[in-house]
Each structure stands twice: as C-alpha cells, then as structure tokens.
Amino acid sequence: MNTLQLHKKICLLGTFGVGKTSLVRRFVYDKYDDEYKSTIGAKVSQKRLVPLENSRKELIQFNFLVWDIEGVEKATPQVNHYLLGAHGFLLIGDLTREETIGALPAISEFARKIAPGAPLVLAGNKADLAPDGSHTAAVLAEVADRLSAPYLLTSAKDGRNVEDCFTQLGLLIAE
Amino acid sequence: MASLNPAMNNLKQPEMPVDPLAQLKSILLTEDQQRIAELEAALAELKAQLSHKAQLIATLEPVIGEVLEKKIGDSKDEMARSLAPVMGAAIKRQIKDAREDVIDALYPIVGRMVAKAVAEAMKKIIANINANLNRTFKFSRWFRQQKARLQGIDPAEKVLADAFPFQLQRVFLIARDSGLLISYAGASQSGPEHDEAHIIGGMLTAIKSFMETSFAGSREGDLNEIEHSEFTIRINSGRYTYLAAVFSGVAGNELDEELRNLHIRIHERFHRQLRSYDGDNSRLQGIEQPLREIIRTTQHIDHEHTAAS
C-alpha cells in the first residue's frame, strides 16, 4: 500500500508560560529545558510522524510544520496572520493555573475563524506538577467537552502524552 | 693585703656565690644569644606571614609582577602551555560576568579590525572596477555596454554588478498563507539541505507575516527583500504562492522580471492545484522543473558573462 506524504501546518496556541515551546522541544527533539524563554512572534519546527491509517484504510505520513506562536489571549492582526492556512491547532493550558485553561474557549474562537475546518486538540500541560484528579484537569475536561475537542494531560518535563497529542491531531486531520 | 683586681676581690667574698660557668657563658655567648632571639622573632614573624593569607599576599604582591615577567621572559612557550587550559574558561567567565566591560575593552581593537577588513574589501572592489574599466575599450566590452544601454541598464550599475558577480543560490516556492514549502531548487541538491528547506519556508513566511503586519500600518504591502551577510532574499508574491530567491552579489533589475515570468509560468500550469493546495505535493508533479531551470539559466548566464569578461 502506498503511503501518502502530506505537509501540514500545526499551530500551538495558549497564554504566556503554559509550556508551548517546551512541548515543541519535547516533541521535535525529545529534550526539556527548565529555563523559561518567552517566544517573540513565531518559531517554526518540523517533525515527520510515523505513518497513520485513517478510517478509509489510507496510510498517511505527515510532515508537521509546527508553529510555536507567542502567548496570546485575544486575536491580534499579527497572530491572525500566523494562523492563516493552519491545518490543525493544539490549544495548551497550564494545569497549575486555572485561568490559562479558562482562556482556551476565546482562543479557539479566533483560531476557528481564521481556519474554520482545522481540528483542535487540547493539552493540559505541566501534569507532573498537578495532583491526580486535580480541579484544573476537571475544568479542562469541561472546556474540551464544550469545544467538542479531545484533550490530554501532558508534561513536557517527563514527556507524558506529548507525542500522543500530535498523533491525535494527525488522526483528526487524516479524516 | 688588698688586691687591686676587683674580680679577685669578688672571688674572696663568700656571701655572694657566682656560677663561674654561667658567668663564662654570659661573657662568651651574650652576643649569639641576642642573635638567636632576634632570629626566632624573625622566624615567628615569617611563619605568621605565611599562614596568614592577607599578609602573604601583601608580602608577595610587590614582586609577583616581576616574577611573572621574568618567567615569561625566560620561557614564553612553557607559560603559554601552562595557562592555555584556563584562559578559554577565564575569558568565557569574564564575558558572562562582565560583558559590557569586555565589549568596552575590545571595541577599539574590533573597530580597527573591521576598518582594516573594509579597507581590504574596498581595495578588491577598486581592483575589480579598475580591471573592468581597463577593458572598456575592448570591442566585446563596448558591445555589451551598448547592449546594456539599449536594455535600459545603468552602465554604473553594470560596473558594480561586474564587481560583485551575481549568483542565484536557491529558489523556494512557498504557499502564501500556510508557509508550506511547495517546491525548492538549489545549486546543490543534498538531502539534509532539502529537508531544512521546509523549515526555511515556514520561518520566511513567519518573518514576512511579522514585517507585513507590524510595519505596514493601515496600508497593505508585501515584503520584497531581506538582506543578511552577503546574501539577499528577493521575494516575488503571487496570489496563492510566493517565490523567494536567495542570491549573492548584485542582482540587476532583470531578476525581478525573471521571477515574475517564472511565477506566471507556474501559475499558468498549476493554478488549479495551487488554489486548493493542502500540503499534498504529489498533485504538483513537475512544478520543480521551472525552478531548476532558473537556477541553471542564471548560472549559465553568469558563466557566459565570466567567460566573456
């Protein structure tokens, strides 16, 4: 069976300091750095996923061009420009700061305006710092339900569910 | 009988006993004992100086410069070998701890180095221009200049372009909105470089977006050129895609025209696929051909030009 090679633009969105850059670093280079460096503008990285099979039994290998976009809470002309042509969004909240999860519906709204058909996956990051069954995880589940999007609890530090977030997004795009 | 010698008188007085050995010692060793006492005091002071860090520093400070100077004078290589391993680390540390001080110290030296490098580069440019001017009266040169005039190219620009020969290094065809790389051609087609081209396509788009939204104000406009080091990126924007040409040297006006024509050719053939482009490059078979052609053609022109000069 032939594997279809597809290039896709994936945008990471969330407020400041939720760990977008760390998630990309873990996903692309399998590395983690404790030091916080604020992203200015956008930084693009690339990663090829393992081939995925969709419901039509097509085998697709994605080459993800991952756009790590600076922390945002509302739409700006610059951020809108960065989102043009996006094929998928990873919306990230910090499980230790509830307000960052509360900001996700507003972020999803302007992202969906720019790229209407692009699927969303939500990530509750810094799961290594949040206790099991924490209140913020429940809030994230509720937000994901409202947005009809899947969610995962991730940790860029220990690597849990990071790869799965992008795979999940790949499977949604493949449909 | 009274003795005239008082010592003899003393010997005769039994009420004052005297140890003759001690007296002899006193007579013979007083001076040595004083010296020993002085030496002991000096030794104690020296010990105190050696065990007391601040005192030791105070003692060595006046001579340490001289010692180092002598050692360096005697064996410069040996000193360099001993100090080399720590010098790199010390410089790094100093740059980290006192960056501004280091910059202040290096500024005049770097300034002179830059001035020297610029002077050298200017010498080369002048040499190239002189060489070109010397050939001005050759018929082929005269003919090419007339041709340039007829094409509306400024002869001064032509001389400058000859001094900095143009070389097209890479051409990228990038989706205007998503920044996905649709096609790419380079002077060298090695694997990793080609793979890296996808990131370059994305970052170029991010930079382009940043510039166009941050500095355009209320007016819509496209970023046309980026310069870095000896490279320039000339951008030609179309409806669904943009072309980015990376080159060194001086590009004449004809580059814009070449890029515009290339873009038109691509759109004429692929406009349907480009309008609905969704990251599937297999639907654009053959799109790399015109990009390779422009690289080949410009190299051919450049070589032809070099051969004719």
pLDDT of A103: 94
**C-alpha atoms less than 13 angstroms from C-alpha of B75 in its C-beta half-sphere:** 5
- Looking at the structure, do residues B286 and B155 belong to the same domain, yes or no? no
Confidence of residue B307 (pLDDT cuts 50, 70, 90): very low
CATH number of the domain to which B271 belongs? 3.30.450.70
pLDDT of B172: 94
Percentage of residues in chain A having pLDDT higher than 90: 74
Of B127, B143, B164, the domain-final residue: B164
Chain A residues near residue B201 by CB distance under 8 angstroms: 65
Percentage of residues in chain B having pLDDT higher than 90: 19
Say if the Cβ atoms of A85 and B178 lie within 8 Å: yes
- Looking at the structure, do residues B133 and B174 belong to the same domain, yes or no? no
The pLDDT of residue B4 is above 50: no
**Do the strands B241-248 and B167-175 form a parallel or antiparallel pair, or are they unpaired?**
antiparallel
- Looking at the structure, do residues B188 and B259 belong to the same domain, yes or no? yes
What is the number of structural domains in chain B? 2
- Looking at the structure, do residues B248 and B134 belong to the same domain, yes or no? no
Smallest CA–CA separation between B203 and chain A, in Å?
A: 6
Tell me if B15 is assigned to some domain.
no
Say if the Cβ atoms of B202 and A67 lie within 8 Å: yes
Tell me if B118 is assigned to some domain.
yes
The pLDDT of residue B192 is above 90: no
pLDDT of B204: 92
Spatial separation of the C-alpha atoms in residues A161 and A172, rounded to whole Å:
16
More confident site: A34 or B241: B241
Spatial separation of the C-alpha atoms in residues B264 and B225, rounded to whole Å:
20
Which one, of B135, B177, B158, B136, lies nearest residue B253 by Cα? B158
N-term to C-term CA, chain B:
136
Domain assignment of residue A13, given as a range: 3-174
Of B149, B164, B179, the domain-final residue: B164
Tens of pLDDT, residue by residue over A50-60, are 999 988 889 99
What is the number of structural domains in chain A? 1
Confidence of residue B194 (pLDDT cuts 50, 70, 90): low
The pLDDT of residue A29 is above 60: yes
Spatial separation of the C-alpha atoms in residues B107 and B59, rounded to whole Å:
36
Say if the Cβ atoms of B177 and A85 lie within 8 Å: yes
The pLDDT of residue A38 is above 90: no
Close Cβ partners of B272 (under 8 Å, ≥ 6 residues apart) = none
Choose the most confident range, by mean pLDDT, from A93-107, A129-143, B149-163.
A93-107
Spatial separation of the C-alpha atoms in residues B200 and B245, rounded to whole Å:
12
Tell me if B60 is assigned to some domain.
no
Spatial separation of the C-alpha atoms in residues B287 and B285, rounded to whole Å:
6
CATH number of the domain to which A112 belongs? 3.40.50.300
Tens of pLDDT, residue by residue over B15-24, are 556 788 888 8
Q: Is the dihedral of CA B199, B299, B135, B153 positive or negative?
A: negative
More confident site: B161 or B196: B196
- Paired strand residues for B227: B232
Say if the Cβ atoms of B179 and A44 lie within 8 Å: yes
- Looking at the structure, do residues B174 and B282 belong to the same domain, yes or no? yes
B-interface mutation test, from A46, A169, A173, most B Cβ less than 10 A away: A46
Residues 99-158 on A with a CB inside 8 Å of B are: none
| Average pLDDT estimate for A63-75 | 91
The pLDDT of residue B183 is above 90: yes
- Looking at the structure, do residues B190 and B279 belong to the same domain, yes or no? yes
The token duo for B193 is: 């470089």
- Looking at the structure, do residues B251 and B303 belong to the same domain, yes or no? yes
B-interface mutation test, from A6, A7, A39, most B Cβ less than 10 A away: A7
Tell me if B85 is assigned to some domain.
no
- Looking at the structure, do residues B265 and B197 belong to the same domain, yes or no? yes
Match 């050759």 to its residue by tokens.
B138
- Paired strand residues for A11: A67, A89
Spatial separation of the C-alpha atoms in residues B38 and B252, rounded to whole Å:
92
pLDDT of B308: 35
pLDDT of A155: 93
pLDDT of B1: 41
Among the partner residues A7, A81, A86, nearest to B198 by beta-carbon distance = A7
The pLDDT of residue A152 is above 60: yes
- Looking at the structure, do residues B178 and B288 belong to the same domain, yes or no? yes
- Looking at the structure, do residues B160 and B172 belong to the same domain, yes or no? no
Domain assignment of residue B159, given as a range: 91-164
Determine the longest span between alpha carbons in chain A, in angstroms.
47
Tell me if B277 is assigned to some domain.
yes
Of B147, B164, B181, the domain-final residue: B164
- Looking at the structure, do residues B143 and B218 belong to the same domain, yes or no? no
- Looking at the structure, do residues B101 and B174 belong to the same domain, yes or no? no
Does ipTM surpass 0.85 in this model?
A: yes
Helix B288-308, helix B254-275: angle, nearest 10: 170
